[in-house]
Amino acid sequence: MPPPVTITSHTTASNPRPHILYSIQVNLNGKRQVIEKRYSEFVELHEKLKDDFTLPPKRFLVTTFVPSAWIDDTLIAERKAGLTSWLSDLLASPEHKDSPALSEFLTAAPDATPRQFSLEDVLPSTLSRKTGARVAAGGEIGTTATAIAAAYYPDWSADSNPPEKIDFSKFDILFFAFAMPNSAATLTWDSGSQDILRRLVTAKKNSGKATKIVLSVGGWGGSTWFSQATNSSANRTTFKNALVSAVNTFGLDGIDIDWEYPNSTGAGNPHSSADAANLLSLFQTLRGALGSSKIISAAVPHLPWLGTNGKPLTDVSAYAAQLTYVNIMNYDVWGASSSPGPNAPLGNLCGTSTQPQASAQAALSQWTKAGFPAGKLLLGLPLYGYVSQSTKTKLTGSFAPSDDMLLLEDAPSTDGKSERQFLNGAHFRAKEQQATIEANGDLSGWFNQQIPFSSIVASGALVKKSDGTYGEGAGYTMGLSAVTHVASMLELILLYYLAWDDCSDTPFLFNVSRKTVVTYDDTWSIGDKALFAKQNGLAGCFTWSLDQDDGVTLQNAIRKNLGK
């Protein structure tokens, strides 16, 4: 049986100026017909139906406009695939398949009155630079790519951050974490997580916002079976079907693969030298099944995946062809340690790092050098820090995971939570302990743990100011430098001091008497990294994780510096 709709060809028309007509083969109710529609007519139907499916994007980017035939070919091929996928989604949707507007759209009407013409219908190669500039000045279309502000939403945060309370206007994409591959190459879910995902999708729809909901699969403690799930064509097909089924069942906008890591032990996972090649095959079959309109992303470290030789791949262009985004996890570079270092360095800004590959700047260079476009990279920003038992008053410059951190990765389950929840959900604490922390500012209960930014604020170590930034309060002091205060104001030695590591662009707190150092990101440092992403042409930023913010203060700083 042929598919209900396909778009494999197109024609051009000359009036009112050269434009594209997409030829839609419609096979419905035993009848076959071919109709022709402009891209703008698809947009009009999309706006009329207010559906949650994704059209191929508008591409008239006058800021980078270069008239050429290859733009025509690339644009048309992208739209054929994307428009076919969009129509197929509508016809499979109980909500829209019987819509009179859709039925009318798919019915040939040769005598219909021509709709208003849009420059989105024009062949790019027929527009002059002068026309492009005029459109930009007049604001007719002139759209430019908008940076993405995304976040991960862990299922275990639903109690503290219910889906119904999320301000979806702050997020372009929410990555719901996690489902996990299992030994049968299907998906395993935490108890109750599917219900939480349904609530998240429903809350987004009710919000009226355009936020995309993407299922993240894997995670640090959930990557055990990736290698097996991708090691044969049969397993990849089974796994692909499970992923596609999840997208269709929950009405999702795509899949995020968080495999930590191909051809690498990670949290003690089985792995193979063929992992990277098998992952590419998975992306290819998944893209074929989901179509061009769905998001397929991958959470990755600072360097590309390891190839058969155990070294980072030098050419990842084939992966880029299938993926919408790569999510660079620029965090956990240095955890809790007696010699604390930066959690998420912007760069090797003093040239003193002994691991210069682990920073935002290095990751951008390493991925783009391997052939992954900057415009498909999302930079990861942590909304948490680490509390170290230490008397240090400055951060180390080595930027390498400490022994303390590596031991923490092997920590057992706590309070009935999975290892992943324990490592990335350090904000889970008994109410009594949290009340004590908030009452006296003692952070010793967080030694060797991740600490949410919101809990640093709750402790009193940071206080939000009227301008939305954070500084001293309730006995905390901030000055030109922490060392100056210790030397000249001995009466304050029991207090925490705010300091800054210029070599990584990282703020930190220390209290020598309490043997406590806290590394974290605030509005300034996280804003710097968002600005770095914008200035270097990245697709945008994402955070781990939404629930650890002080409301949406850090998210607002990210959005502002992305120009949103």
Residue 391 lies in a domain: no
Domain final residue, candidates 115, 138, 161: 138
Residue 493 lies in a domain: no
Predicted local distance difference test score (pLDDT) of residue 43: 87
Predicted local distance difference test score (pLDDT) of residue 246: 98
Same domain, yes or no, for 168 and 115?
Answer: no
Domain that holds residue 121: 5-138
DSSP code for 122: B
Same domain, yes or no, for 115 and 186?
Answer: no
What tokens appear for 86 in the block? 């969009």
What tokens appear for 440 in the block? 């006296």
Looking at residue 409, its amino acid is E
Domain final residue, candidates 138, 168, 195: 138
pTM: 0.71
- Computed on alpha carbons and rounded to an integer, the radius of gyration of the chain in Å comes to 26
**CA 70 to each of CA 13, 124, 129, 145, 293: distance values in angstroms, whole numbers, following the listed order:** 19, 9, 16, 20, 21
Domain final residue, candidates 101, 116, 138: 138
Helices (H), 20-138: 39-49, 69-92, 100-105, 129-138
* CATH number of the domain where residue 13 is located: 3.30.1520.10
Q: Give me the tens of pLDDT residue by residue for the chain, a chain 564 residues long.
A: 678 888 878 877 656 556 788 889 888 887 888 888 888 888 889 989 988 887 776 654 333 333 344 345 666 777 888 888 889 889 988 999 899 999 888 887 654 444 555 666 765 544 443 444 343 333 333 333 589 999 999 999 999 999 999 999 999 999 999 999 999 999 999 999 999 999 999 999 999 999 999 999 999 999 999 999 999 999 999 999 999 999 999 999 999 999 999 999 999 999 999 999 999 999 999 999 999 889 999 999 999 999 999 999 999 999 999 999 999 999 999 999 999 999 999 999 888 887 799 999 999 999 999 999 999 999 999 999 999 999 888 888 644 444 443 443 333 333 333 333 333 333 333 333 443 444 456 788 899 999 999 999 998 888 888 888 887 543 433 323 333 333 333 333 334 566 788 889 999 888 888 888 899 999 999 999 999 999 999 999 999 999 999 999 999 999 999 999
Opening angle at CA 434, ends 430 and 435, nearest 5: 115
Contact 382, 521 (CB under 8 A): yes
Neighbours of 350 (CB within 10 A): 11
- In this structure, what are the phi and psi dihedrals at residue 514, rounded to the nearest 5 degrees? -90, 0
Predicted local distance difference test score (pLDDT) of residue 442: 78
User: Partners of 414 in the beta sheet?
Assistant: 417
Residue 466 lies in a domain: no
**CA 236 to each of CA 170, 279, 280, 313: distance values in angstroms, whole numbers, following the listed order:** 35, 9, 11, 21
Same domain, yes or no, for 111 and 162?
Answer: no
Contact 557, 464 (CB under 8 A): no
Same domain, yes or no, for 181 and 280?
Answer: yes
Q: Which of 473, 468, 444 has the alpha carbon at shortest distance from 552?
A: 468
Residue 470 lies in a domain: no
Same domain, yes or no, for 57 and 171?
Answer: no
Residue 224, CB half-sphere, CA atoms under 13 Å: how many?
A: 13
Opening angle at CA 119, ends 116 and 120, nearest 5: 100
Question: How far is it, in rounded angstroms, from Cα 435 to Cα 429?
Answer: 10
Predicted local distance difference test score (pLDDT) of residue 52: 82
Same domain, yes or no, for 121 and 250?
Answer: no
Predicted local distance difference test score (pLDDT) of residue 19: 74
Q: In what order do the strands lie in the sheet with 497-501?
A: 449-452, 384-389, 516-519, 506-511, 497-501
- In this structure, what are the phi and psi dihedrals at residue 183, rounded to the nearest 5 degrees? -70, -15
Same domain, yes or no, for 124 and 181?
Answer: no
Residue 185 lies in a domain: yes
Same domain, yes or no, for 359 and 319?
Answer: yes
Same domain, yes or no, for 133 and 154?
Answer: no
Give the dihedral sign, CA 394/400/406/408: positive
Residue 180 lies in a domain: yes
Exposed / middle / buried, residue 480 (Cβ in 10 Å: 0-12, 13-18, 19+) = exposed
Residues recorded for the chain: 564
Same domain, yes or no, for 233 and 176?
Answer: yes
Residue 191 CB partners (closer than 8 Å, separation 6+): none
Same domain, yes or no, for 103 and 186?
Answer: no
Residue 36 lies in a domain: yes
Residue 370 lies in a domain: yes
- In this structure, what are the phi and psi dihedrals at residue 540, rounded to the nearest 5 degrees? 150, -150
The SS3 assignment for 268 reads: coil
Question: How far is it, in rounded angstroms, from Cα 35 to Cα 451?
Answer: 58
* CATH number of the domain where residue 272 is located: 3.20.20.80
- How many domains, the chain? 2
Q: Which of 518, 539, 204 has the alpha carbon at shortest distance from 382?
A: 518
Q: Which residue has the tokens 């959005």?
A: 559
Question: How far is it, in rounded angstroms, from Cα 224 to Cα 491?
Answer: 52
The SS3 assignment for 320 reads: helix
Same domain, yes or no, for 188 and 168?
Answer: yes
Predicted local distance difference test score (pLDDT) of residue 474: 33
